[in-house]
Amino acid sequence: MRNFAALLGCAALLALVLVDSESSAPFNSALLAQAPVAIPPMEAPARAEGSLRAFTQARYRADLVAVQRSRPAYPFWQHIYTIPDGRIIYGSAETGRLLASFPTRGNWTREGVWEDAALEGTLDGLRLQSRLRQRRDQVEELLEPIVGPVVHNPTRGRFLTPNAARYGSFLSQWGDIYERFGVPAEIGLAQAIVESGLNGRARSRADARGFCQWLRRNWNHLNRLAPNVIEWENQTTQAPYCAAYLSILATMYGSFIPALSEHHAGGVNVGRTVINGERLGGATAREQYLIGAEFARDLRNISIRRYRELFRTYGPRSFLYAEMVFGNTINVERMTAGTAQTEIFAMRAPRDLPLSEVKEQTGLSTDEVKRFNPALVRRVLARANVYLPEYVPEFGPDVSFWHRPAGADFASVIDEFVRLEAGVQRWHEASFESVLRSFERRFQETDSEEGAVMATTLAYVIGDLRTSRRAAILDEFRTSGRILRLFQQGVSELRAALSGA
């Protein structure tokens, strides 16, 4: 797919570029402006006077403004999961507005669906390329003079639609879980759409599993740290840990944008991206990430081999990930408003609970029990949670923390935690471990369900920060003279590409 880009010099760069998430090919138009263009700073939210929600919503709004400014096509990605498979859709790269849809196999002139009637005759009388990739690019070239830059992508409606019908009534309860940990419901659930299509039993080829697609070994490690049994196939079990992890990363970066990307691309890749953005003049991690992402994307356009050390495996899908999540917040809001919501009650099983007993006690069908508990095959394991539309005392204590206001102790600690000073480099320093360990202990001492989740997830993150080679790799990337020279070479080559365009 052809791209249109304008990188904005060493001081700042944030310009419009759309990348086809299905393509592994490098893109061929990456230009660096000679004169820097100033971008109004996106300040981290000041300390909120009100609640945790007010503070994290301020962080989310600042992120949304940044996405609207630097990735204006983000609304386009809502359509990927709402239009049935087998279509190629086109949208405006300037607004994200859906323009047209064509069959992957079929006659585009006769079978195209145009959202804008003024465009309906665009393909009339033209001979289109027979190969799909070339045909997509050809139609892009035809549309651009009429509507401006466009983006196109295959649809994946089957990834979400069946699960939305089955689990859409749970969105409000899952959203309350995310909010408890300082993550706006729309962001947390949009990430779940992109990762798993809301399917608790989803598995990737890399063996990532469940609602937010953590690798199996990571779930196993988390299960060893947790005081209770984690049955990862249950979305309502996963959601608190997904939320806690995203909350921790957003606190480290001061933004949900790089936090989301780390989940997809990995901490080292995002760390390199942020460092590159800092070198290019970004003032906050939010700016640094967005600037560094554009820089990596455009260097890939010039030469993946020559500049690989500056971005490694941070590729086109990494570039798009946060944008896709923000686009699907629109689907979260629409689905939640359009579906009657159901309460979910959680009970901590004191012993193994056979499926037959759960059915007998509740009068629910096997299918309905498994809708609430996708992990349930024959029995719920002792010390795991069983989820039902009402509380059943025989199945253990009610641990549905999302039905109750947060306890004063937890509310105080989480509110203080999310306001920690952001800074990737600072969080990787050995001296900062004591700060995180203190919060781990304080969360544990709240003697609450959500406190135990935060303590467990913090222990997991601290272990990753301290025992992986992540800190050493990023320190070398930051201080290496060879890397700095390669970075400067990349800046010069991008400038030269622009001046020769």
Model confidence over 300-344: pLDDT tens digits? 999 999 999 999 999 999 999 999 999 999 999 999 999 999 999
Answer yes or no: is pLDDT of 32 > 90. Answer: no
Answer yes or no: is pLDDT of 431 > 50. Answer: yes
Q: Which residues pair with 32 in a beta bridge?
A: 7
Residue 468: its pLDDT value, please? 87
Model confidence over 391-426: pLDDT tens digits? 999 999 999 999 999 999 999 999 999 999 999 999
Q: CB neighbours of 184 closer than 8 A, spacing ≥ 6?
A: 56, 57, 60, 178, 256
pTM more than 0.85:
yes
Kindly state the average pLDDT of the residues 2-22. Answer: 34
Where do the structural domains in the chain lie, given as residue ranges?
1-85+157-344+400-501, 88-154, 345-399
Identify the residue with better confidence: 183 or 38.
183
Cα separation, 9 vs 227, whole angstroms: 51
Neighbours of 249 (CB within 10 A): 21
Cα separation, 290 vs 101, whole angstroms: 29
Q: Identify the band that residue 467 occupies on the pLDDT scale cut at 50, 70 and 90.
A: confident
Cα separation, 159 vs 194, whole angstroms: 9
Q: What percent of the chain has pLDDT over 90?
A: 88
Residue 501: its pLDDT value, please? 59
Kindly state the average pLDDT of the residues 174-203. Answer: 98
The token duo for 10 is 């060493």
Kindly state the average pLDDT of the residues 291-305. Answer: 97
Cα separation, 10 vs 56, whole angstroms: 31
Model confidence over 206-233: pLDDT tens digits? 999 999 999 999 999 999 999 999 999 9
Model confidence over 36-82: pLDDT tens digits? 333 334 343 444 334 899 999 999 999 999 999 999 999 999 999 99
Q: Identify the band that residue 483 occupies on the pLDDT scale cut at 50, 70 and 90.
A: very high
